[in-house]
Amino acid sequence: MKKSADDVIVLGTVIGSFIMSVALAVGWVMNIMTIWHTMDAPLTAKLILRCIGVFVFPVGGILGYL
C-alpha cells in the first residue's frame, strides 16, 4: 500500500503534537517542583509568573525549563 504525502503530513503533525505536549507536561511538573523548592524565597515577578503557570498550562510548561 502506497502512502500519500497527506498521510505523512498528518502522521508528522500527530507525532509533533504528542512530543510538544509531553515536553510541556514535563516543563509544567518542573515548574511546580521549582515553586515547591522556593517556598521560602522572596516574592519576585518570576515566582508570580510561575504561580500563574500552574493554572495556565503553556506558561508553566515554558517556565519550567527556565
Q: How do residues 3-25 score in pLDDT, each as one tens digit?
A: 787 788 888 999 999 999 999 99
From the list 3, 66, 6, the residue with the least C-alpha distance to 35 is: 66
The residue length of the chain stands at: 66
**Mean pLDDT of the region 36-64:** 89
**pTM confidence score:** 0.78
Find out whether 49 and 59 touch, Cβ atoms under 8 Å.
yes
- CA 27-28-32 angle, to 5 degrees, is 115
